Structure 1
């Protein structure tokens, strides 16, 4: 452990990174950064389209099925249609619709137009969604009704790593009149993608990922959709949870991604049908806004192990401000999961702040190439939560000598 001054009178205890090998190098600001990133997310995706042209990119159960070529072409036409409406580089385009192939087309269309997509969760109450759209100062809204913009295929490829690439709102509507908008740059997104692909060892031989997470959240979009595309895999979307046992078979699913709560709700059907023999990976997204402890309960892990005996299971903890990632634990054989959050992975580094920090207990701070630098249009909140290179999570945790992070029973006062 080391220590550094966070602000006058406040000392933080930094924990050494265990991940500085490979493509990660420490920048002049002290943050670990990937040295092999594409200049922008659009370029990475464009390369994958040309490499996996005929593969299925996205499938909606009971709906459309698009190859990489078809998805890219339809998104480019949406981008061209947005251009005819005056949308271009740096504008904000709200994507407000249910998870579907149409959502993916709209999201990529906004991205290819040069605009910054604004993710508006479909589950938000109408009044809150309206406030989010207004807060984002959206220049255009892609909604669930009516045709999407259409025009001559267009791709704006002039973005850079530091440019904003996504505006994603946190799920704190209960505590704030408007959830906080988090600015994520191309570097944040590409770093998160590289971290997930590397840490989970995602293969490039035709991964088929059943994503049951909402795409309008960082955990669904940044940590599942984009990494699957990065390895030329297929994202399978199920608008309803009905007949998922059949979906596992008919869609040849080898990876399933959901929250522990979603998995728990699926257990009765899956236990009756016993259709999970081909599943090799189970990813549990544990967002910090949902509950303090991240890793799935041991009873759920055991039940999933019985249903999917060949599958590796892991829990990924993160916040919108960290691009949805930060900590991970392989819980296949983990006995005590009650308060486990996980180990830092990718370029994420950790620190503790508070009077007990030297004893391994305090507020969890994160930094890394995946961590946002500020909130949208809220300098006061940005100064409070982002200090130097560190993001204050507001979560009280303990970190042991091996770097394992566990949640403590309360949050830090005032956050």
Structure 2
């Protein structure tokens, strides 16, 4: 029983000394302190922090007038545009929960997300009408559909709703008196996993975690005051690793980018003095391999944060030569994005390149705002020795771990068993405490920052009439980090070529999940008939 002390008497929580943590106050402060500072750049558009705050309040006001409030889900299917930034503030200002949908999902997956989240509103970019339309037809819910017409997009796409985004904002009050969350434990956003096993899981973030991870980005990324951030990372992915809220802390500038192209990235970095950006290894490959005519001299060294598979030494060397300082991060949707950083030691700069690459390959140590990170035995929960060889499961605990999975108590309990969040990633712990991943449970492949389930791809392959057995593993790829490689065993007397099998998959899988390589032959199996995937991984590594 907790013993009462003199500090427990007459020293209570009151509004004067306790307020719920929320990232929404970061924007309010930025607008008051730096009202004329440019907050958003998008093509010729320039919006100040006063503008961003007023538009976010308009959005909140308009949504509230239409009955949106605490616990309602507002889904958005948007590119990296000003509307997406405004949604990160305006939606939670109502008490509602923001669900940023992955623009790369197919109609069936989007319909599942809309139904599972019980979406009341869907804001959709005209570019994604081709998938949003069928998704709405498949979905059981009938959300209010709001069309966003981005002036920077001139491609095809129908309007699906009866209301335009700017018309919605015109209904709202720029001085709307939005309310703080009643509890910092209230949900702020909902992010769906990539559905690596069955349907996607809905990961629930709270205001407290979003506020803390946003602060953690400032400290870990050494952002300083008024950074200029280029949006190469999708804002739909873990709320842009919470950088959507982080930039307001330091009154930074959001430089929006609809499509990640090398020429556009170099141009925007040079024109606007970009200081920071994030992205998967594919973004680094685009920058390093850009033709000379697309490159532009950078005004200074640019900080680049990457997650997923550790970049090859050749890519790291190319990034250094191009003027980038690369930092390796690690995290999951369940940890609000990266919560682990490969904190670099200055003395490591003197190591030979191969030893530096070995250091860079490690995922690292916890963010200051993550309370616990360890590698433990998944059964006993005992820490593994810090010997760099003993395999265990990477586990986390702290305030930047999700509330849980929406409507999925069994998965939530399993994820939090023993008081730790079980990442499902297998790794080792080095003598200096740095964690390094060695394998992924459930055979998840991370390609271009997207999670791909080998099981899902295998299921599609098994349905091909000519295939007797199939196994999918990750194959290293300079551009994407890794891509699915399918080992296929054909039925006796059947024939099928690689092109035919890839075409079969293309009809049944999202494009980024397609196997890029098909290898024919008998699959290696154990005496009990289990495919020996470790042998296939070795073969895939060899090319």
Q: TM-score range by the shorter chain?
A: 0.7 to 0.9
Cα distance in 2, alignment partners of residues 94 and 390 from structure 1 = 30
Specify the alignment match of 2:392 in structure 1. 362
Does structure 1 residue 343 correspond to structure 2 residue 325?
Answer: no
Q: Does 1:228 align with 2:247?
A: yes
Which of structures 1 and 2 has the bigger CA Rg? 2
Deviations 1:160-219 (A, max 9, x none): 3211111111122x4222x11111111111110121111222111x21111201001116
Q: How far apart, in 2, do the equivalents of 1:251 and 1:40 lie? A: 29
Matching residue of 1:188: 209
Figure out how many residues of one structure are paired with residues of the other and give that number.
368
Pick one of 315, 318, 322 that aligns with 1:307. Answer: 322
Distance, in Å, in 1 between the alignment partners of 2:18 and 2:44 is 37
| TM-score, scaled to structure 1 | 0.82
Cα-to-partner distance string for 1:64-102 (whole Å, 9 max, x where unaligned): 321111111111111111112100122211112222112
The answer to whether residue 169 in structure 2 is matched with residue 147 in structure 1 is: no
Alignment match, 2:406: 376
Contact between 1:339 and 1:408, CA under 8 Å: does it hold in 2? no
Give 1:10's aligned residue: none
| 1:132 counterpart = 2:156 | no
Q: Tell me the distance in 2 between the aligned counterparts of 1:362 and 1:347.
A: 23
Taking the aligned partners of 2:38 and 2:99, their CA distance within structure 1 comes to 26
Aligned to 2:307, what secondary structure does the other structure show?
strand
2:258 counterpart of 1:239: yes
Higher relative contact order (CA 8 A, sep 6+): 1
3-state SS of 2:405 partner:
coil
**1:47 matched to which residue of 2?**
29
> Counterparts of 1:409 and 1:89 in 2: how far apart (Å)?
40
Matched, 1:319 2:338: no
More off after superposition, 239-248 vs 329-338: 329-338
Q: What is the 5 A alignment of 1:5-84?
A: 39-60=21-42, 62=43, 64-84=45-65
Query: Could you list the per-position Cα deviations for residues 359-384 of structure 1 after superposition, in whole angstroms to 9, with x for gaps in the alignment?
Result: 34301110121111311111111011
Richer in helix (by share) = 2
The answer to whether the Cα contact below 8 Å between 1:53 and 1:69 also exists between their aligned partners in 2 is yes
Structure 2: segments with no counterpart, 5+ residues: 1-16, 126-146, 148-162, 350-355, 445-452, 454-543
Asked if structure 1 preserves the Cα contact closer than 8 Å seen for 2:20 and 2:180, the reply is no
- Once the 2 structures are TM-superposed, how far is the Cα of residue 221 of structure 1 from its aligned partner? 4.7
Deviates more, 1:296-305 or 1:337-346: 337-346
Alignment partners' CA distance in 1, 2:108 and 2:294: 40
Distance 1:162 1:410, change over 3 A: closer
Task: Measure, in 1, the Cα distance between the counterparts of 2:215 and 2:434.
Answer: 22
CA offset at residue 317 of structure 1?
A: 0.9
What is the CA RMSD across the aligned residues, in angstroms? 2.6
**1:312 counterpart SS class:** strand
Q: Is residue 396–residue 412 contact of structure 1 (8 Å, CA) maintained in 2?
A: no
State how far apart, in whole Å, the 2-side matches of 1:209 and 1:279 are. 14
Alpha-carbon deviation of 1:402? Answer: 0.8
Contact kept, 8 Å, 2:306 with 2:326, in 1: the verdict is no
Distance 2:249 2:329 in 1: 18
Distance in 1, Cα, partners of 2:60 & 2:442: 43
Give the aligned partner of residue 282 of structure 1.
Answer: 303
What's the offset of the Cα at 1:37? 8.3
1:353 aligns with 2:377: yes
- How many Å apart are 1:319 and its aligned residue? 0.5
Map Cα deviations across residues 195-249 of structure 1 (whole Å, 9 max, x no partner). Answer: 1111222111x21111201001116251x22212211000111213243222211
1:203-218 equivalent positions in 2, closer than 5 A: 203-204=224-225, 206-218=226-238
Which position in structure 2 is the counterpart of 1:168?
A: 191
Whole-angstrom CA distance in 1 between matches of 2:231 and 2:298: 18
Match of 2:157 in 1: none
Which of the numbers 280, 298, 314 marks the counterpart of 1:259? 280
Point out 4+ residue stretches in structure 1 off by more than 4 angstroms.
35-38, 270-274, 330-333, 412-415
For 1:260 and 1:279, the matched residues in 2 are separated by 21
Say whether the 8 Å CA contact 2:307–2:338 is kept in structure 1.
no
Matching of residue 398 in structure 1 with residue 422 in structure 2: no
| Structure 1 unmatched ranges of 5 or more | 1-34, 288-292
